[in-house]
Amino acid sequence: MNILVSGGAGYIGSHTCVALMGAGHSVIIADNLSNSKADTIGKIMGIADKEVTFYEIDVTDTEAVDIIFKNHKIDGVIHFAGLKAVGESVEKPQDYYYNNLVSTLVLAKACQKYGVNRFVFSSSATVYGDNKVPFVESMDLLPTTNPYGETKAMSERILTDIAKANPYFSVSILRYFNPVGAHESGLIGESPNGIPNNLMPYVTQVAKGKLEKLKVFGNDYPTVDGTGVRDYIHVVDLAESHVAALDNLKAGVHIYNLGTGKGTSVLELVKAFEEANDIEIPYEIVERRPGDIASCYADASKAKRELGWTAKRDMIAMCRDAWRFENGQGE
Ligand code: NAD
Ligand code: UDP
């Protein structure tokens, strides 16, 4: 199939393009490079040993998106493009609501216009809010604490209503837990601008000596060792889930948690990183980070049951591959 991948130059999108081409699909990437680099496109082609078509466009731009649908027979859309920094979304709510909602509307509208009925959307475990773990797809969603989370919950509702109005529209809503790691080639991975907000890139930068020590945000949560628990998932496992989601699309809206189903605390991740890479990670305990919840992990059984997909790579692989990528990044 010809798959339009919005945000395909980004962290999860680039790995997914590789997985799609590995499964025999052709890929057309639309990305405005607001949080990625043009050379990632060449790296994707190098790993997959296949050509991709790249449009440097903003997917909130109806006319630019229309040109892609005119130029190619698109069979399905995977919509990754979006702004994703939780803290920044509190500072710049308009930017987040505009970019993340209008992009979804423009792509869904183009699908309607050109009769494309396959749509896969990147949502997030953040839509569950501070629910009881493990999070199950059927749970009532609790309010999120930031505009970013709201854009995900709203996009889910928008796509659900569009699917209600069009019985042929097949939407897969994928709620990602915490993607980490990198492609084993070390060529593509996550390279956040500035000081990382997320745990794994912060740890790799401490390992590299770019940052002095990890600040662990609180050790008084009701968890195994008091530090926050998350469900880390290898980005290549996550990428592969998109192929399974496309293969198993059916009419209506279907929501899937994509995680391993296992919670890992901050200190457990640090220990795994030290073991995997034989590097010490200095850390200090500091105040809790505002807005953080104690625990977040998936009940991942629905994706296994309906998509035949489960995460295969363990925490050691996640830490090893994250470090390999950081090491290849230069200064
Ligand atoms: P990323 O920032 O690496 O990738 C997003 C890509 O979209 C970037 O290449 C960026 O340049 C592009 N983009 C943004 N706005 C655009 C626009 N209007 N038009 C065209 N391109 C645009 O982020 P990621 O980690 O790969 O995340 C992909 C998706 O998954 C996002 O929707 C994100 O919210 C969601 N998600 C990510 C995580 C995570 O922890 N990484 C967790 C849950 C959900
Ligand atoms: N965390 C931390 N120090 C950091 C970054 C994160 O202790 O520099 C903790 C954070 O409090 C949470 C976990 O690591 O318990 C994962 O945080 P991340 O930002 O990666 O993911 P999210 O909280 O968005 O799920």
The CATH number assigned to the domain holding 107 equals: 3.40.50.720
pLDDT digits (tens, 9 = 90+) for 152-210: 999 999 999 999 999 999 999 999 999 999 999 999 999 888 899 999 999 999 999 99
Mutation pick for ligand 2 pocket among 135, 176, 230 (CB with most ligand atoms within 8 Å): 230
Listed in sequence order, the residues at least 6 apart from 160 whose beta carbon sits closer than 8 Å to its beta carbon are: 171, 253
Decide if 303 is inside a domain. no
Q: Is the CB of 32 under 6 A from ligand 1?
A: yes
pLDDT of amino acid 331? 43
CA-based radius of gyration for the chain:
19
Segment 242-266 shows an average pLDDT of 97
Decide if 209 is inside a domain. no
Decide if 236 is inside a domain. yes
Q: How far apart are CA 19 and CA 106, in angstroms?
A: 25
Decide if 306 is inside a domain. no
Decide if 162 is inside a domain. yes
Q: Tell me which ligand sits closest to the C-alpha of residue 7.
A: 1
Read off the amino acid at residue 26: S
Total domains in the fold of the chain: 1
Q: How far apart are CA 128 and CA 149, in angstroms?
A: 9
Q: Is the CB of 274 under 6 A from ligand 2?
A: no
Q: Tell me which ligand sits closest to the C-alpha of residue 12.
A: 1
- Phi first, then psi: give them for residue 79, nearest 5 degrees: -105, 95
Q: Is the CB of 112 under 6 A from ligand 2?
A: no
Q: How far apart are CA 295 and CA 5, in angstroms?
A: 31
pTM of the model: 0.98
Residue with the smallest CA separation from ligand 2 atom 20 is 198
Q: Is the CB of 148 under 6 A from ligand 1?
A: no
pLDDT of amino acid 329? 74
Segment 62-79 shows an average pLDDT of 98
Tell me how far the alpha carbon of residue 224 lies from the centroid of ligand 1, in angstroms: 31
Residue with the smallest CA separation from ligand 1 atom 35 is 122
> Average pLDDT of the chain?
97
Tell me how far the alpha carbon of residue 252 lies from the centroid of ligand 2, in angstroms: 34
Active site residue 148: yes
Domain ranges, residue 69:
2-182+232-259
Q: Is the CB of 176 under 6 A from ligand 1?
A: yes
Catalytic member of 11, 128, 148, 176: 148
CB 157, CB 119: distance < 8 Å: no
